[in-house]
């Protein structure tokens, strides 16, 4: 081979080479339209998730299993068995005098009792019980009352009269202690409350019966006086002739009046006894609480803010006025503020009265829940009594106008009979209540809580499934998120869309490890995969040679955004394809002075090489390694003693390329990565065209896009991108399988 000689003084002097910049071919365009702006941050699709899993499953699965094991250990170490203790009570749908059987009373009473069991009315005293107070689970709580409210439940068992009181705790014996203790406190509270109310009711009924006794005695004396006036003797009731005949038309009306009046008086006594507050309950809202609520009332706050603004305005008037407080404007505004202050006091008084009324009504409502059905019944009885009384009075008036003295005496006897009848009914009702007082229970304990034999769950199955499952998929979410951030190139369409590059070729993956089996099918698979790889490289070379825009190119630079994206492999295989297809002389230049490895691929020496030629330490002919492949020569990188910028950035590269063009028909240059070695821009700009290499599932869209932007800004003739690393299956699914396999051997 005859190579032009060069010396440091003459051969490497820079001078214009190659076609003028204006005549340099544009980037290769295989009929593709101009690219739109980059579309980054695409949505996460099922395909994207599948590709992420396909890329990382060898790491994600073991990591997921490790996370699941850690989660299982955490759940198991922190899990505490839970025990459910339950007691059963019954609230019969029946009643005596104070709880008549009615769908309007019994369900309300039962619901009231259930709410009472889980409220502070019972739980507050229960926390003071020594047995409950010493339970460790209770002692650990900051707000013990709220904790009990959350953990204790009282529910009905279907539509029956049975109700279930449950507590779920960490210790079986403690759970039983809490349930039975709360039930004991509740029953004591219920009986004590009922006893006090019944005593009050009996006292009121006793007073009523005494009043009726006095009324009966008075009416008896009055009847005796009437009898003396009529017949002059003290004859008894039986001496009044025609009494039954006079009263017979209204007898049933008279009897009903007796029943209604008796029931009305008993209901009034019950409402009074059950509706009044207990002696230790404050009748009014505390003064400090009342004043705080008055200040926080929206109307008062708004008026106070307005008054404060007026006072600030008054201070401003004082400062700006020449006469200060003596000015007329100050005095007028001060008078206005004084009136506003009076209005505020009036408003506060109104709000205070309103709050007191609301508090009183709320207390009465709370206290009177059990009296609601009695009040409703009393209203109905009042209406019925008014109607009966009006009819009775009309009949009495009609007979009285006749002037018959015996008739008037008969009505007096009837009135006495009415009062006596009411007295007898009230006395009988009083006797019933006294009898019921010996059996006050409205709630019966069917079964107390017993120690549960086993926890609710022997194993924390649900927690293990939940947390272990979440921990197992966590690495998969992590890799999907990482892939989302990284935006690795997974196919040619993604590279084209996100990096805004024309794809000039896609290279199949070169088989790197033999199949263990030595059968005919395995050998055929190796030949097929190798044939696909060679076919993909040949397709790229054919496109470059036959394109009208790149057909005149002879010197090609191959670069990448970062290292490890397959540019060196592409350089070697593309050069071999050029030599095999054209039969012409091809030179490979390893311009990656930082990390050269082409000499390793071809098993050649490293130095002398490009670095030595650029420094003038040797001739080009001495540095070139001939016939590393058929028709292919190699100019290795050599060993750089200084920064690559000192070799590539001084204008010697264009001169060197000009000299090599005179000897070789095609030259393929392996350059350093664009983003981490800027001297590659110098090499790429001196080439006829540059290919930007990307590796499937390794290269990142953003980095490829940044590299293409830097090449374009530097004036490099960027022909397009080459995507390497497609598997045989991926390549054939896109381009089909028509590779030449050669003769089987």
pLDDT tens figures, 191-219: 766 666 777 777 777 888 888 788 878 87
Residue, of 375 and 306, whose pLDDT is higher: 306
Residue, of 316 and 17, whose pLDDT is higher: 316
**Torsion angle of C-alpha atoms 698, 700, 704, 709, degrees rounded to 10:** -170
The region of weakest confidence among 432-446, 473-487, 707-721 is 432-446
The region of weakest confidence among 234-238, 314-318, 361-365, 381-385 is 234-238
Q: Which pLDDT does position 210 carry in this prediction?
A: 80
The region of weakest confidence among 55-64, 482-491, 685-694 is 482-491
Kindly indicate the confidence band of residue 558, based on its pLDDT and cuts at 50, 70 and 90: very high
* pLDDT at position 478 over 80: yes
- Pairing mode, strands 625-629 and 444-447: unpaired
492, two tokens = 């040619």
pLDDT tens figures, 589-608: 998 888 888 888 888 888 88
The region of weakest confidence among 3-7, 111-115, 304-308 is 3-7
- Please provide the CATH number assigned to the domain covering 502-511+519-735: 3.40.50.300
3-state helix, strand, coil in the chain (%, to 5): 60, 10, 30
Kindly indicate the confidence band of residue 250, based on its pLDDT and cuts at 50, 70 and 90: low
Half-sphere exposure of 458 (CA within 13 A, CB side): 2
Q: Which pLDDT does position 31 carry in this prediction?
A: 38
Q: Over the range 412-433, which residues count as b (16 or more CB within 10 Å of their CB) and which as e?
A: bbbbbbbbbbbbebbbebbeeb
Angle, helix 405-436 to helix 251-275, in steps of 10 degrees: 40
Angle, helix 567-582 to helix 520-546, in steps of 10 degrees: 80
Kindly indicate the confidence band of residue 94, based on its pLDDT and cuts at 50, 70 and 90: low
Section 682-690 average pLDDT: 89
With beta carbons less than 8 A apart as the criterion, state whether 382 and 264 touch: yes
Half-sphere exposure of 58 (CA within 13 A, CB side): 1
DSSP annotation of 145 reads H
Beta bridge partners of residue 557, listed in sequence order: 669, 690
DSSP annotation of 36 reads P
Q: How far apart are CA 92 and CA 257, in angstroms?
A: 32
Three-state SS string over 268-325 comes to HHHHHHHHCCCCCCCCCCCHHHHHHHHHHCHHHHHHHHHHHHHHHHHHHHHHHCCCHH
Residue 6 in 3-state DSSP? coil
The region of weakest confidence among 4-18, 506-520, 649-663 is 4-18
* pLDDT at position 32 over 50: no
With a CB cutoff of 8 Å and minimum separation 6, the contacts of 86 are 164, 165, 166, 167, 179, 449
Q: How far apart are CA 596 and CA 656, in angstroms?
A: 19
Beta bridge partners of residue 633, listed in sequence order: 587
What percent of the chain shows pLDDT beyond 70?
77
* pLDDT at position 90 over 60: yes
Q: Which of 48-57, 102-111, 171-180 holds the top average pLDDT? A: 171-180
With a CB cutoff of 8 Å and minimum separation 6, the contacts of 287 are none
Residue 454 in 3-state DSSP? coil
Q: How far apart are CA 708 and CA 489, in angstroms?
A: 15
pLDDT tens figures, 120-149: 778 888 888 888 888 888 888 888 888 888
**Torsion angle of C-alpha atoms 568, 571, 573, 574, degrees rounded to 10:** 160
With beta carbons less than 8 A apart as the criterion, state whether 665 and 554 touch: yes
Q: Which pLDDT does position 483 carry in this prediction?
A: 75
The segment(s) of the chain belonging to CATH 3.40.50.300 are: 502-511+519-735
pLDDT tens figures, 428-444: 777 766 665 544 456 78
Q: How far apart are CA 718 and CA 690, in angstroms?
A: 5
pLDDT tens figures, 611-641: 888 888 888 888 898 888 888 999 998 888 7
Q: How far apart are CA 591 and CA 682, in angstroms?
A: 11
Q: How far apart are CA 164 and CA 87, in angstroms?
A: 6
- How far lies 192's CA from each of 2, 197, 383, 463, 739, in Å? 122, 9, 35, 45, 99
* pLDDT at position 36 over 50: no
Closest CA to 719 of 509, 532, 502, 529: 502
Mean pLDDT of the chain: 76
* pLDDT at position 661 over 60: yes
């Amino acid at each position: 081979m005859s190579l032009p000689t060069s010396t440091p003084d003459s051969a490497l002097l820079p001078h214009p080479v190659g076609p003028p910049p204006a005549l340099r071919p544009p980037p290769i365009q295989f009929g593709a339209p101009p690219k739109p702006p980059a579309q980054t941050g695409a949505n996460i699709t099922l395909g994207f998730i599948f590709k992420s899993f396909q890329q990382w499953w060898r790491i994600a699965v073991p990591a997921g299993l490790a996370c699941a094991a850690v989660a299982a250990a955490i759940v198991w170490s922190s899990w505490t068995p839970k025990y459910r203790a339950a007691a059963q009570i019954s609230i019969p749908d029946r009643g005596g005098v104070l709880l008549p059987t009615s769908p309007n009373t019994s369900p309300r009473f039962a619901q009231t009792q259930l709410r009472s069991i889980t409220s502070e009315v019972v739980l507050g005293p229960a926390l003071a019980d020594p047995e409950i107070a010493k339970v460790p689970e209770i002692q650990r709580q900051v707000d013990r009352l709220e904790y009990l409210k959350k953990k204790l439940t009282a529910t009905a068992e279907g539509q029956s009269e049975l109700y279930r009181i449950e507590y779920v705790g960490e210790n079986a014996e403690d759970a039983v202690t809490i349930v039975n203790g709360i039930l004991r406190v509740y029953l004591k509270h219920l009986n004590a409350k009922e006893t006090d109310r019944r005593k009050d009711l009996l006292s009121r009924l006793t007073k009523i019966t005494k009043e009726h006794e006095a009324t009966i005695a008075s009416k008896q004396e009055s009847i005796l006086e009437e009898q003396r006036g009529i017949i002059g003797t003290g004859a008894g009731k039986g001496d009044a002739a025609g009494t039954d005949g006079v009263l017979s038309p209204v007898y049933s009306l008279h009897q009903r009046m007796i029943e209604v009046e008796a029931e009305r008086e008993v209901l009034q006594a019950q409402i009074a006894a059950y509706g009044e507050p207990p002696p230790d309950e404050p009748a009014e809202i505390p003064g400090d609480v009342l004043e705080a609520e008055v200040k926080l009332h929206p109307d008062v706050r708004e008026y106070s803010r307005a008054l404060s603004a007026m006072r600030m305005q008054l201070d401003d008037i004082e400062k700006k006025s020449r006469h200060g407080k003596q000015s007329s404007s100050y005095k007028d505004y001060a008078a206005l503020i004084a009136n506003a202050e009076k209005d505020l006091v009036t408003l506060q008084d109104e709000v205070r009265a309103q709050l007191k009324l609301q508090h009183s009504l709320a207390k009465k409502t709370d206290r009177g829940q059990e009296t609601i059905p009695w009040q409703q019944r009393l209203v109905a009885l009042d209406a019925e009594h008014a109607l009966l009384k009006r009819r009775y009075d009309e009949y009495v008036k009609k007979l009285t106008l006749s002037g018959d003295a015996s008739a008037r005496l008969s009505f007096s006897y009837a009135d006495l009979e009415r009062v006596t009848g009411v007295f007898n009914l009230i006395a009988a009702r009083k006797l019933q209540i006294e009898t019921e007082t010996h059996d006050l229970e409205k709630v019966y304990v069917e079964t107390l809580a017993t120690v549960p034999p086993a926890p609710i769950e022997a194993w924390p199955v649900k927690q293990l499934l939940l947390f272990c499952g979440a921990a197992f998929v966590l690495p998969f979410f992590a890799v999907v998120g990482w892939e989302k951030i990284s935006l690795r190139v997974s196919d040619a369409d993604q590279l084209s869309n996100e990096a805004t590059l024309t794809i000039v070729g896609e290279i199949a993956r070169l088989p790197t490890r033999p199949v263990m089996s030595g059968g005919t099918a395995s050998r055929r698979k190796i030949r097929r995969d190798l044939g696909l790889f060679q076919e993909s490289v040949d397709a790229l070379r054919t496109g470059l040679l036959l394109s009208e825009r790149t057909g005149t190119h002879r010197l090609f630079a191959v670069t990448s955004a970062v290292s490890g994206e397959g540019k060196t492999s592409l350089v070697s295989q593309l050069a071999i394809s050029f030599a095999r297809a054209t039969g012409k002389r091809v030179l490979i230049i390893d311009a990656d002075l930082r990390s050269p490895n082409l000499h390793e691929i071809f098993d050649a020496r490293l130095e002398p090489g490009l670095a030595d030629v650029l420094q003038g330490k040797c001739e080009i002919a001495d540095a070139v390694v001939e016939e590393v492949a058929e028709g292919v020569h190699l100019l290795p990188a050599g060993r750089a003693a200084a920064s690559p910028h000192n070799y590539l950035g001084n204008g010697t590269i264009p001169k060197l390329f000009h000299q090599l063009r005179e000897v070789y028909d095609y030259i393929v240059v392996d350059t350093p990565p664009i983003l981490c070695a800027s001297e590659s821009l110098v090499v790429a700009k001196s080439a006829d065209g540059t290919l930007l290499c990307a590796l499937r599932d390794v290269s990142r869209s953003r980095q490829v896009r940044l590299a293409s932007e830097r090449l374009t800004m530097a004036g490099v003739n960027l022909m397009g991108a080459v995507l390497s690393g497609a598997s045989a299956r991926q390549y054939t699914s896109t381009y089909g399988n028509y590779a030449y396999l050669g003769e089987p051997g």
